[in-house]
Amino acid sequence: MQFITKVSPGKGICRLSCLVRADTEAELAALAEIEGNGPAQPQRDMEISKRNKELLALRTLPRYDRARLQYRRYMDMAFSDNLQFLRTKAGMTQEQLAEELEVSRQSVSKWEGGQSFPEMETLLRLCDRYDVDLDTLLRGSVEKSREGDTAQYDRFMDVFSWRIALSVGAILLGVALQGFLDAYGVSEAVSCALFLLVVTVSVVVMVASGIQYSAFCKEHPTIVDFYTPKQRSAFQRKFVWLISGGVGAILFGVVLLTLGEQFLEEEFYGDQMAAVFLAIVAGAVTTFVYGGLQSEKYNVEKYNRENNPTPEVKARKGLISMICGGLMVTVTAVYVGLGLALHLWGTTWWVFAVGGILCGVVNITLNPYRGMD
């Protein structure tokens, strides 16, 4: 590194006119000629630079260091704020995040406090874990970037709620349809076949929706709670009418069923009224299921918690799935067995209701989050 100086005439001090880098003697000579000083004199220039040490100090280097230090501090603060925001929104503690990343809790605490910085491999794991790009995680604001529904969570949950609710309602409506067909004298084989067709379509829709829901959860394990208090309040008013309307419909069906049994003595009309009652129940159950799923949609904290489970929670959920799966397989086998052996296709549909109730009991009993919601 060589420095070129220019001495002003009549003055005893050196004035710095150009500060450049010259790695070779040829470059130094060329730059000196440009300055008008003639051939460069490296030794003399170095002596002058020593006498004017303060003047020739590379003040740009300290400024660069300061800017670099400030930028690093800014990155540390942005990352620490983003990490704390993501962890909190996911409903995780520092211990849980540390266990997942295979680091100590103290490391996570230092990251969130801006005292240290994780390795690149850990940063990439955090990006995958919280569905955020590296640039936003390090230098941006994750909270601002997620103020809107970037994952289309609201739209997906609306479609999912309708599919599941209509599928459950369709199964009960299939029972009502079977009752109508029996009342009109249609053969039991035809009515049973139509009922099984409705059940098949409904089950296919529910299974496909469940698979799509699982894929969505894996793709978006963490959702920022973007719902406003006004939106939640509006849904609560809607939810009241969904539940109360369903209850009112069932009570109205009971009234119709009672009147039909009282004034319609013929068995034909009695079967019709029973089918009408089941159709009303199907509509009410549809509103119950839809309202419940919509209520779950607004519980974003629960969504994040369930999609970021601890090992203990994973084990408990696996046990619940195994038990419920076994129950439904058993119920289906009982229904098919009674239908084939005793021709009770139209009267043993209730076993599915029993299986559903037992699954509900299992979920409530073994729920790993019981008492937290």
User: How many residues comprise the chain?
Assistant: 373
Q: Decide which of 76 and 221 is more confident.
A: 221
Q: ∠ CA(244), CA(198), CA(256), 5° rounding?
A: 40
Q: Decide which of 318 and 240 is more confident.
A: 240
Q: Which of 155, 157, 152 is nearest to 290 (CA)?
A: 157
Could you read off the pLDDT of 9-64 as tens digits, one per residue? 444 434 333 444 444 445 445 445 544 444 445 555 455 455 444 444 444 444 44
Could you read off the pLDDT of 138-164 as tens digits, one per residue? 877 777 666 666 568 889 999 999 999
| Range picked from 22-36, 206-220, 334-348 for highest mean pLDDT | 206-220
pLDDT at 315: 85
As a whole number of angstroms, the distance between CA 79 and CA 95 comes to 18
Predicted confidence (pLDDT) at residue 296 exceeds the cutoff of 70 = yes
pTM over 0.75: no
CATH architecture of 66-145: Orthogonal Bundle (1.10)
Mean pLDDT for 209-217 is 92
As a whole number of angstroms, the distance between CA 90 and CA 88 comes to 5
Q: Spell out the alpha helix ranges (H) of the chain.
A: 25-35, 42-51, 53-56, 60-89, 94-101, 105-112, 120-130, 134-139, 142-145, 153-183, 188-219, 229-263, 267-297, 300-306, 311-342, 350-366
Contact (CB, 8 A) for 55 and 16: yes
Q: Decide which of 309 and 254 is more confident.
A: 254
Could you read off the pLDDT of 110-136 as tens digits, one per residue? 888 888 888 888 888 888 777 777 877
The CA–CA distances, whole Å, from 97 to 129, 130, 131, 314 equal 10, 11, 15, 15
pLDDT at 257: 77
Could you read off the pLDDT of 162-190 as tens digits, one per residue? 999 999 999 999 888 888 887 777 887 88
pLDDT at 127: 83
End-to-end Cα, the chain, rounded Å: 69
Lowest mean pLDDT among 87-91, 257-261, 280-284, 288-292: 257-261
> What is the average pLDDT score of the chain?
77
pLDDT at 75: 52
Mean pLDDT for 75-94 is 78
pLDDT at 148: 61
Mean pLDDT for 69-80 is 57
